[in-house]
Amino acid sequence: RIERPLDPGEAIDLEPVRVALGADSNALLEAHAEAQGTRAAARACAPFQAGWCSWYHFFHDVSEDAFVRNLDALVAARDEIPIELVQLDDGYQRAIGDWLETNEKFPSGLADLRRVISARGLQPGIWTNVSFQDRTAAAAHPSWFVRTPDGQPALGNWVGYVMDGSSAGTMDTLVTPVYRALRRMGWDYFKLDALR
């Protein structure tokens, strides 16, 4: 929805709209995804990957014990449910934006949990997002975050302060070190959420 009047002869570039008709909804969806991937110069030919994500069973109430119990059940049923990936979602972290420290529900920590997943022959995946909930840090470095028209860090619903990926400070201080550390622990599938 655009709520901006245009003067005669003025134009605004908007996202393109794609319209496709057909009776096969799967084919339409696949064609749409391929067109979007091509337009974005994205890798559009990655192989299908079957996996399990803790969010859809536990939401943020996941615990290490419950996660490992489900992991063991999935391994036991691998002939019937041939998954390759197990992804830990929201609920493990100490705070939103503090992705390397676990809360009391995950006493073994992320490196040990990754080893448990890998030892069972599954690919370890982990959820993070691009926000930060520490008001003091956001106020100290407003250029690291998406800002309001008056230049203050913008607070977005549940995600907190949304990081500005075009800021070198954000990338060098908040983003790159986190993913390098997770990768060093052996996590190799990342679900990146709250992209706004």
- For residue range 137-149, list pLDDT tens digits in order: 888 999 999 888 8
Residue 44 has what pLDDT? 67
Residue 37 has what pLDDT? 87
* pLDDT above 70 for 40: yes
Distance between CA atoms of residues 61 and 54, nearest Å: 9
Is residue 105 within 8 Å of 89, Cβ to Cβ?
no
* pLDDT above 70 for 196: no
Summary mean pLDDT of the chain? 91
* pLDDT above 90 for 135: no
